Structure 1
Amino acid sequence: MLELNQRWIHFYGVTVNSAPADAPAFNMEECVTELRKIQRKGQLFKLINKGTACIRVSKLLINLKSRRATFLFQYSDSKISDPAFSDLESGILRSEPKLQGEGVAVSAHAIFYLDPIKPGGLEYMLLLEDSPGIGKTKLTPFLNGFLKKILSRQFTNLDDNQLDCYPFFNFDHFASQSLTKDLEDGELKFIELIKNRAIHELDEEPYLDKSTQIIKVKAVPKTTGQKAVDLINKVKSLAKEKGYSDIRVVLKKAEGKQRSVKVSTFREDAGEALFGRMEVVSTDHDLHQCAPDIDLAFIKKMRALK
């Protein structure tokens, strides 16, 4: 359930890549400008999950002076149970059944900044409202599918061949909080050891060239602070000896949210690994589960977090 006057905000770094890798670089401004053209036609949406759900950009504003674009994403799912309401005193229930073709809907505001984080770079900051069903797992293929469709063009490579190229986004949590600080306030839940292995018998198959082996190590309750960091470093060292390239640390923050961070086993101290940033926004007005329009007051509070 979403709170009435509070939302968490994810900080992402969005890299604008080119495919193939030797193609000319694209930038965020041209990507969002072309996306807005599709959105204005009411076509920036996609049915997913065999047509039972839909993700769309319902609103998209670009401010070239302030160098940012504001998106309002909407996700609806017909497979989610009908919402029900209970009278607080009597417990009497009231349900609101979905009509034919409808799905339970949620929305998420997002701010894409049009200038790279570092001058001349390819990574741009993104602030995304935390909303169930709308995260980078859905947004990445959704946006990339449209970028390939609307921004494909030809270029001449170093071998003087004419090839098609297009941009695509890659989302990564913007690293700004140390793992040590998160473990001071939260609790270590478990650690996963991750190893990618080549399958030499399938060398001829381009889509089946490796497998992933994962071992899960569960922490005892109330493992926090430096004790948690020491345990992570001990597991990391063991994982490195056994040929594991990464570990994934899963912790529960003090506010109750569960977070995870991937740490290379080659890092000297896991406690210094950077962790994805999340901040909370509180409002003095009620927030919709699915906003019909961009909430400018909410967006102003999001911008203030940067």
Structure 2
Amino acid sequence: MSKIALVTDSACDLTDEELKECGARLLPLRIIYADKEYRDRVEIHPDEVYANLEKEVPKTSLPSGEDIEALYRELKDEGYTHVLGVFISSGLSGTANAVKMYAEEHPSMVTHVFDTKNLSMAEGITVLEAGRLIKSGMALEEILEKLAAFQETIDTYYYVDTLEYLMKGGRIGKVAGTIGQLLNLKPIISVNRDGIYYTIAKAKGRKQALLRLVGILEENLAKYKCNVYVMHGAALEEGKALVETIMKMKNVQSMDLRQISPALGVHTGKGLLGICLQRNPL
């Protein structure tokens, strides 16, 4: 009889309670400063990363090989026959590919990696869905088909308050970034079907950009019922205000507020606000 382990990474933005409830094991991404590196959520909290951004912008990296290998040995000792990995977009991180490589050293367990082609709560709700399907007793091949269909119902949109960190991280060109700063252009970024950041809209100033972000959600709510997650990067009060606005809209099935992982936050800086929506038929 098959026994399926569920594995994800710390970009999923799920709480410890949610991870426990869905049975997911967590591989921490790494937050790397000039003098030291930390395991995300294990040795450093997102609040600390955001608080230090003005002093130093760290790099982020995939989980360490030691952590991946240790987890595989643990799963083998616990009698798992299959591993389902649900990870941050392979277009944004090497996590999925690293797990595939280490999985080759453990042929007694069949590993399937599901690339969410997204991050944060888009990844997180996919992990929750995977946990639900595993608990239902469904075969792994069918679970993968269900997750692929579920993935098509999810989109994320982020308002970025400053282009400074995207420029520093090489996510956008310096010329485009400088022009954007001079014109006070605020981008709305999303993740395309290849799992890579792209700019979906621009607006002049914070107020107009947030109105555009809300407008994108309203366009979806006109056609679908949606589970909505508001995500913030050290912008709790603004996040709460956005939640209040969204709660007044029709066709909102559920609503939640989360702090976003440093996996995105270090590339955007403080003031990030995002929306993850999962669409369902009216």
Output the TM-score relative to the length of structure 1: 0.27
- Between structures 1 and 2, the one with greater helix share: 2
Larger Rg belongs to: 1
- Between structures 1 and 2, the one with greater strand share: 1
